[in-house]
Structure 1
Amino acid sequence: MPRKPPAVFPQEQRLLSELGERLRLARKRRKLSNAVVAQRAGVSRTTVYKVEAGNPGATLGAYVRVLAVLGLEGDLHLLAADDRIEHKLQDQALEPSSNTRRRKTNPSSAQNREGFV
């Protein structure tokens, strides 16, 4: 019995549809039929149709296989490569908070530790 695909928000569906359309256009530019892509990817023609339609029920593996057949698998390295949110969180953690008091160093004690008198 086929599983029901998960609920997808409209923005996510739009992203999948746009990806599918780009894959369809890439296939057509290469003058490949759905049947040829399906055979080379090791998936069914129905799966290729689902990928090109941006169907959320198509597995990530199916998308990867179609990308590989089209020679676009290198683009996967760009996904989530620049985690801007994590960078902002790290930067905030590095900033001194307003409650933190800076410790004043006594210049003479610093000289004594370094061997200067």
Structure 2
Amino acid sequence: MPATSPALDTEARADLGKLGELISHRRKALRVSAVAAAESAGMSRVTLHRIEHGEPAVTMGAYLNALHVLGLQLQVVEAVGTPKQRQASAEGMVRIDDYPQLRQLAWQLREGAEVTGEEALAIYERNWRHVDEAALEAHERELIDSLVARYGKGHLLV
């Protein structure tokens, strides 16, 4: 019987989901079957399936084995503020690099650039047709919602 999943906050759950997707995409890009990858990593196909779906009850060691057999390694980086701090940035300056869709829309701005909340909303509004709504991360969706509420003048992006 699988282990009980630990309680995760929204951002941690999203990170695990992204990690699982990365593992799945890499395996498929290499054209390695799930059975072959699982055997190489010393786990069952079911465990690999659970990893690829970002299940938190799977051990970190199993995640690392799956990464390594696919030629990947885990790198830990310091988060830029807490989710509340990132949302609060909507009230002041917005760091472009903290929001993947905004980074793509504002490709011409230097790395580490910051814009005001009004400027960020204007970038989203001008370029909304280029936003992949399905790929919006929760913290970026929260930013957009807070920008619309504060600066939107009754306009809705979606």
Query: What secondary structure does 2:43 align onto?
Result: coil
TM-score (norm 1): 0.63
Match of 1:79 among 76, 81, 84: 76
Deviation >6 Å, runs of 4+: none
Q: Which has the higher contact order (CA 8 A, sep 6+)?
A: 1
The amino acid across from 1:69 in the alignment is V
Counterpart check, 1:67 vs 2:67: yes
1:3, distance to aligned residue in structure 2 (A):
3.0
- Identity of paired residues, percent? 37
Unmatched tracts of structure 1, length 5 or more? 86-117
Q: Gaps spanning 5+ residues in structure 2: where?
A: 82-158
SS in 2 for 1:16: helix
1:33 corresponds to: 33
Give TM-score scaled by structure 2 length.
0.47
**1:23: how far off?**
0.8
Q: Deviations over 1:53-92 (max 9, x none)?
A: 000011100011001110112xx2x314x5889xxxxxxx
Q: Is the 8 A contact 2:2 2:57 kept in 1?
A: no
Let me know the Cα RMSD of the aligned residues. 1.9
1:83 & 1:56 partners in 2: Cα distance?
20
Cα distance in 2 for partners of 1:13, 1:84 equals 17
The residue number in structure 1 matching 2:11 is 11
Give the match for residue 102 of structure 1. none
Pick closer, same or farther for the CA change 1:26–1:6 going to 2, 3 Å: same
Task: Call closer, same or farther: CA 1:84–1:21 in 2, change over 3 Å.
Answer: closer
Which protein is bigger by CA-based radius of gyration? 1
